[in-house]
Amino acid sequence: MPNCTACREEYLCSDKGLLMPFVNEYTWPKEARATIYFLGLLWSFMGVSIIADYLMQAIDIITGKTKQVKIPDPESETGYTSVEIKMWNGTVANLVCMSLGCSTPEILLSIIEVMFNDFKAGALGPGTIVGSAAFNLMCITGVCILSISAGETKRIKKFKVFLVTGVFSVVAYLWLLIILVAITPDYVDVWEAVVTFLFFPLMVLVAYMVDKDFFGRGSVQDSGLEMGEELSLLEKQKADRQIIQEVLRRLHNKNAVKDKDIALLTAKLMEENKEHSRGWYRINAIRSLTGGAKLTPQMNERTEELLRTLVACDEMGSQVSLTELSQGREKSIIEFTAPSTSILECDKRVKIGIARHGNTNRRVRYRVETFDGTAVAKEDYIEFKQSLVFEPGETMNYIEIDIVDDDIWEEDEVFFAKISIDPYEPGVVGRRAITQIIVLNDDIRDHIRFPKPAFVFKESVGTALVPVEREGGCKGKVTVKYETKDLVAVKGHDYSVDQKQEIVFEKGEVSKMIEICIHDDMEFEKDENFEVRLTGVEGNCEMDKRKTRCVVTIVNDDEFKGFVARVTDLTNANLDSLRMSYTSWGKQFHDAMNVNGGNVENATFKDYILHFFTFGWKVIFSLIPPASILGGWLCFFCALIAIGILNAIIGDLANIFGCLIGLKPEVTAITFVALGTSLPDLFASRAAATLERSADNAVGNVTGSIAVNVFMGLGVSWTIAAVYWAAQGKNFEVQSSSLVFSVIIYSICAVVTLGLLIVRRFTGIFGNAELGGPTGPKIACGLFLIGLWFFYVLLSSFQNYESISGI
């Protein structure tokens, strides 16, 4: 290139980078350069996401240290159960580490920009911090509101902590306005920068005190957990055991099902039942965006079909519905109240009960339709095919089916009714999805009896269902009382029954089950038995005196014990492979080199494409020490250094790209750079919104990250620069016109957003929750918040191009 001033002036944007351009691009067409820098920017964002994965792994190890605590447990032989509790307080870990980890790219970008720019204020760092805050608070919150299923709601569990971080997220930007407009216009003193940083530990302290209710009852246990939290951990531990037992009981006699498929299904159900940290969702989102190893069990076709079968056709003989377990007790379970109902032909109409249990707080639409048995539609009964609705709070519905009464003598005839639910509805069909309707001849007397004198159940059955039959005209409601008598089995130790010890036959119902919980102690025992007696009836009915007693025998199931041991080992191996952090360099290299972490069987076409584009970054960053070394600290600092180097390159790419296409650095910051650094948070929050039972990981922690961005990103960088210039007797100048305008617009939008979330929580029209709710208000709120983000971007951009008068 000729060495002349004119030529240098034609070398567009060569002075916009701190390190770049690395080669002479003077002869390159501007369009080609812009395209290359844009692709480089996208590729670098992928690299930041991958190295952020390692940073979050380190943070998880650092904050995940646990200690064992013994909790009283009457069900345990020793009288207690040991559970592991985290040594870090959850709120402190989220603010100090998780929020800091999510905000690291923005924070380091601001610090590096100042240090490599002769300690002068730049536009990219502060602009990215404000732009990222706007995207996270408005756009991500709007997407999370829209992501919840129709009629479903999610509330923030730690609402007081959310209010604290929400207030600090607004105070952070009001403080910027105070120091840049009121106290020291266009420059920042050392004390102002230091106070900006000190807001960070102050926020953490206040949030911790609110979390521990220091301003309320003030009772905090020395262990760092309240008894309610400890018992919650115990319940979660028991729930995991319950899931394993329920799946194994259903499948251990099915020869076509392999142990490894059952273990994979069990691991999936256990993983869905867990509450995950925001870091878990962020790492899983990053790996989904880069074709890496996922943190959730990936189902093959066999296990997917197995799960669909179990959920749709829950077998009889289980104390707890697998359907309920697989849905995390979040959905409604709808089923018929009885497996069979009878009606006299002369009654002309049969009434059938439909019950709902599980989550009864949501509106569920379902469908009931009849189909022929020996009875034929139109000839013997009128076909029924209708869509019905359970409104919030409703637990019982009834349908009536017309019977055709003719003068022709016929034998008893049967037809059936079936319940179905669309997949997108917040409900599933329970165990009694089909009921039988029997059309009887007239003038038959009712009587109650056991169909057999003895029943045998395996100890692993969970719930023994002992049938009781009602024969005759089946007119009116009948209550049957029963009792048990110990023979070898002992009530309370080997089995237990409902306290009422009665079953109710509604009009027309011909079969009911006495549910007896069988206690499986997982130890070898001889066969045990007990007696069940029918002791009386209330209603127009009598007992069959010859069949009022039956003996229930519980047999040991040694085969099941071995099956449990095999599948439990495989399940633990599956769960162990889902660890957030790597335990060795070998595993790290293996996952980096292979698509989907080596799980090629379940890799999609998208995984292959993303793995191809990110392969270089994966291999480079696999050289970082695994998080298992030195408690995660070595991985933490190495990842910080790598993010710092990459952010310096991103800053140059963004500045030069913006210059080439005519964008000012301030606009580039609030659009391209803010979006690039925030996309993993978008996918992580959306996943948390759909999978978690609360809204904390979706939107509750966003405000903390926003405040951390300002307190750390600007607090640290401005402190370094202010001290540097103060040592030379000068002020640290900050050209605040565009920044102040952007902060004002953001602050107004932030107050509106937080206000809307609070209104949604306490207003019935929105479902009294931050996320989800009725379809209309949900869509309106989500689109409003996304539109609010566009409004912020447009106004800030117009001001930078002087379409709006600056401040």
Is residue 98's pLDDT more than 60? yes
Is residue 118's pLDDT more than 90? no
Q: Are strands 542-543 and 447-449 parallel, antiparallel or unpaired?
A: parallel
Mean pLDDT of 245-273: 63
> Which amino acid is residue 208, in one-letter code?
Y
Give the C-alpha separation, 698 to 674, whole Å.
Answer: 19
Question: Tens of pLDDT along 460-509?
Answer: 777 888 999 888 766 678 889 999 998 888 888 888 888 778 888 887 78
CB atoms within 10 A of CB 103: 26
Give the C-alpha separation, 686 to 143, whole Å.
Answer: 7
Question: What value does the mean pLDDT of the chain take?
Answer: 79
Q: What's the confidence (pLDDT) of residue 5?
A: 47
Q: Which of 46-50, 282-286, 293-297, 644-648 is predicted with the least confidence, judged by mean pLDDT?
A: 293-297
| Token output for 797 | 């951009």
CB atoms within 10 A of CB 348: 11
* Coil vs helix vs strand at 373: coil
Q: What are phi and psi of 593, to 5 degrees?
A: -80, -20
Question: Tens of pLDDT along 198-244?
Answer: 998 999 899 888 888 776 654 444 444 444 454 455 555 555 556 66
| Token output for 459 | 């100890």
> Which amino acid is residue 800, in one-letter code?
N
> Which amino acid is residue 803, in one-letter code?
S
Question: Tens of pLDDT along 128-159?
Answer: 888 888 888 899 999 999 988 777 888 888 88
Share of the chain above pLDDT 90, in %: 12
Q: What's the confidence (pLDDT) of residue 215?
A: 67
Residue holding tokens 């009931």?
368
Residue 522 pLDDT grade (very low, low, confident, very high; cuts 50, 70, 90): low
Q: What's the confidence (pLDDT) of residue 70?
A: 67
Question: Which regions of 424-477 does DSSP assign to beta strands (E)?
Answer: 427-429, 434-440, 447-449, 454-458, 463-471
Give the C-alpha separation, 21 to 656, whole Å.
Answer: 9
Q: Are strands 447-449 and 771-772 parallel, antiparallel or unpaired?
A: unpaired
Answer with the residue of higher pLDDT: 73 or 339: 339
Partner residues linked to 381 by β-bridges: 377, 403
Answer with the residue of higher pLDDT: 31 or 522: 31
Q: What are phi and psi of 576, to 5 degrees?
A: -65, -30
Crossing angle of helices 30-63 and 633-660, in 10° steps, is 160
Q: What's the confidence (pLDDT) of residue 235?
A: 55
Q: What's the confidence (pLDDT) of residue 327?
A: 46
C-alpha distances (whole Å) from 288 to each of 166, 284, 608 are 30, 6, 11
Answer with the residue of higher pLDDT: 149 or 257: 149
Residue 71 pLDDT grade (very low, low, confident, very high; cuts 50, 70, 90): low
Give the C-alpha separation, 240 to 96, whole Å.
Answer: 30
Question: Tens of pLDDT along 748-800?
Answer: 999 999 999 999 999 888 888 889 888 889 999 999 999 999 999 898 888 87
Please name the helix (run of DSSP H) or strand (run of DSSP E) that holds residue 533, with its range, or none. Answer: strand 528-538
C-alpha distances (whole Å) from 89 to each of 83, 226, 279, 399, 627 are 16, 11, 15, 52, 21
Q: What's the confidence (pLDDT) of residue 317?
A: 37
Question: Tens of pLDDT along 394-440?
Answer: 889 999 998 887 656 566 788 899 998 887 788 888 878 888 888 87
Give the C-alpha separation, 138 to 327, whole Å.
Answer: 30
pTM above 0.85, yes or no: no
Is residue 319's pLDDT more than 50? no
8 Å CB contact between 320 and 418 = no
Answer with the residue of higher pLDDT: 602 or 351: 351
Question: Tens of pLDDT along 156-183?
Answer: 888 888 899 889 989 999 999 899 888 8
Answer with the residue of higher pLDDT: 271 or 499: 499
DSSP 658-705: HHHTT--HHHHIIIIIHHHHHHHHHHHHHHHHHHSSSSIIIIITHHHH
Q: What's the confidence (pLDDT) of residue 444?
A: 57
Answer with the residue of higher pLDDT: 223 or 548: 548
